[in-house]
């Protein structure tokens, strides 16, 4: 049995299937993790969701910003005409079933594999948050997503402010900042404030900001962090203080590059060239 973590699929169903064939993935024995952004931009978001759901307990995911956007579209919060690659999902006869399944996934997943602690998140972990606090804060969002205030949360989640944690933060400001930190973050400053506009390579950080993974963590943790979201990194986190424990898996499949997967037992990487292009 092996456990594989795959980068941002974003509707690239054919690439996903080629990569699984490459590693001889056995859905009866092997497990698959996904770092979020299962949907959008690529051509087959519906097939991706149906396939991943069919894996049952052999599949684990965290939500990415595009997954949350799909949930918002399904509630009429944003104009679906501006997301043409998601129309196939929204118009599918099993749409409600698929989106209910999607909404059950958390923003963060932590598990020990082969005696090594892993934490999977879509975008990153703020440097001032311990793993324990990260899991607790992610659960706050998960509870709302699964509860009666789901639609209100999806309405309120859009926006870049507040950009920094402060004592007493509460309500939808708190939930929005947690969500942005875990699903949209790339750059932050030494005080932990987010910069959410820039999507370029790590070396071109805005003045006063650095990639979130370049800061020493608040506590001395040995957890390996798996994330996606940042295609411009092309899987390279450089020589940061955390580089041996940080694994960037978004290698820009939907942009015509590759889809990448890591086997957690030995951290070996596998990739396949993009089978779909925008």
Number of domains in the chain: 1
Distance CA 59, CA 53 (A): 8
Residues 6+ apart with CB under 8 A from 179: 68, 107, 141, 157
Return mean pLDDT, the chain.
Answer: 94
12-47 core/surface letters (b: 16 or more CB in 10 A; e: else): bbbbbbebbeebebeeeebbbbbbbbbbbbbbbbbb
Identify the domain containing residue 165 by its residue range: 3-273
pLDDT higher than threshold 90 for residue 244: no
pLDDT tens-digit readout, 20-51: 999 999 999 999 999 999 999 999 999 999 99
Give the SS3 label for residue 119. strand
Q: Quick one: which of 93, 134, 156 has its CA closest to 219?
A: 134
pLDDT tens-digit readout, 43-82: 999 999 999 999 999 999 999 999 999 999 999 998 877 7
- Does residue 260 form part of some domain? yes
Amino acid 259: pLDDT: 97
CATH number of the domain where residue 35 is located:
3.60.21.10
pLDDT higher than threshold 70 for residue 277: no
pLDDT higher than threshold 50 for residue 278: no
Q: Judge whether 249 and 35 are in contact, CB under 8 Å.
A: yes
Amino acid 219: pLDDT: 61
- Does residue 164 form part of some domain? yes
Token pair listed for 278: 């925008």
Amino acid 217: pLDDT: 79
pLDDT tens-digit readout, 157-179: 999 999 999 999 999 999 999 99
Amino acid 222: pLDDT: 84
- Does residue 56 form part of some domain? yes
- Does residue 278 form part of some domain? no
pTM, to two decimals: 0.95
């Amino acid at each position: 049995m092996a456990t594989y973590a795959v980068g941002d699929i974003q509707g690239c169903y054919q690439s996903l299937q080629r990569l699984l064939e490459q590693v001889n993935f056995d859905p009866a024995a092997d497990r698959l993790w996904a770092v979020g952004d299962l949907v959008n931009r690529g051509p087959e978001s519906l097939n991706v969701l149906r396939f991943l759901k069919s894996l049952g307990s052999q599949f684990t995911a965290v939500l990415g910003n595009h997954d949350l956007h799909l949930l918002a579209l399904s509630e009429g919060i944003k104009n679906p005409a501006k997301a043409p690659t998601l129309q196939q999902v929204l118009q599918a006869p099993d749409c409600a079933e698929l989106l209910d399944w999607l909404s059950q996934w958390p923003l963060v997943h932590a598990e020990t594999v082969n005696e090594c602690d892993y934490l999977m998140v879509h975008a990153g972990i703020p440097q001032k948050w311990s793993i324990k606090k990260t899991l607790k804060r992610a659960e706050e969002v998960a509870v709302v997503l699964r509860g009666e205030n789901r639609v209100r949360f999806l309405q309120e989640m859009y926006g870049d402010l507040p950009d920094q944690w402060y004592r007493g933060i509460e309500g939808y400001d708190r939930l929005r900042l947690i969500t942005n930190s875990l699903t949209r973050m790339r750059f932050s400053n030494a005080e932990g404030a987010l910069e959410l506009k820039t999507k370029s390579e790590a070396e071109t950080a805005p003045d006063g900001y650095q990639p979130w993974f370049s800061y020493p963590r608040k506590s001395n943790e040995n957890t390996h962090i798996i994330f996606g979201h940042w295609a411009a990194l092309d899987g390279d986190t450089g020589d940061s203080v955390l580089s041996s424990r940080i694994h960037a898996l978004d290698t820009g499949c939907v942009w015509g590059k590759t889809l990448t997967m890591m086997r957690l037992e030995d951290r070996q990487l596998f990739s396949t060239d993009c089978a779909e292009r925008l």
